[in-house]
Amino acid sequence: METTRLDQKDGETVTLRWAQGPRSVPMARRRLSGTLKDWGLERLVESASLVLSELLTNAVRHGRVPGREIETRFVHLPGLLRIEVHDASEKRPMMAAPSGCPGGGWGLPLVDVLAAKWGVSDRRGPGKVVWAEIVIDSS
């Protein structure tokens, strides 16, 4: 399911829902890439895709709730791209020191480097929203 709407802060939002499986991650990256191109923000595709991949992978791995989907929102505001991942799990992500094994713990430290800020917020209903904001460089 997809909806596009005008945000109250005079921006644009694309909302998508995904199954709780690993195939959702590359599909979401493709949709983000297309959305950023539509918004004239091609230069953000690489960094934004990495941020989305890490947040969505965490939701798929650690935020599973039977019968619930994961929702992503891409929000284009003046000077800012906000990426949100909503899931129904109450378990909050925590920054940990990366382990020496491949794929071990590098997600949130990577988001921390790529995003101007990120965090976890409550949402209506069960679960949480994990979000990251990337500054749109005017150059």
pLDDT digits (tens, 9 = 90+) for 29-78: 999 999 999 999 999 999 999 999 999 999 998 877 777 899 999 999 98
Nearest alpha carbon to residue 77 among 39, 111, 50: 39
- Could you say which architecture CATH assigns to the domain 2-135? 2-Layer Sandwich (3.30)
pLDDT recorded at residue 132: 97
What ranges do the domains of the chain cover?
A: 2-135
pTM: 0.86
pLDDT recorded at residue 23: 92
- Asked whether the beta carbons of 87 and 127 are under 8 A apart, the reply is yes
pLDDT in tens, 85-95: 999 988 888 77
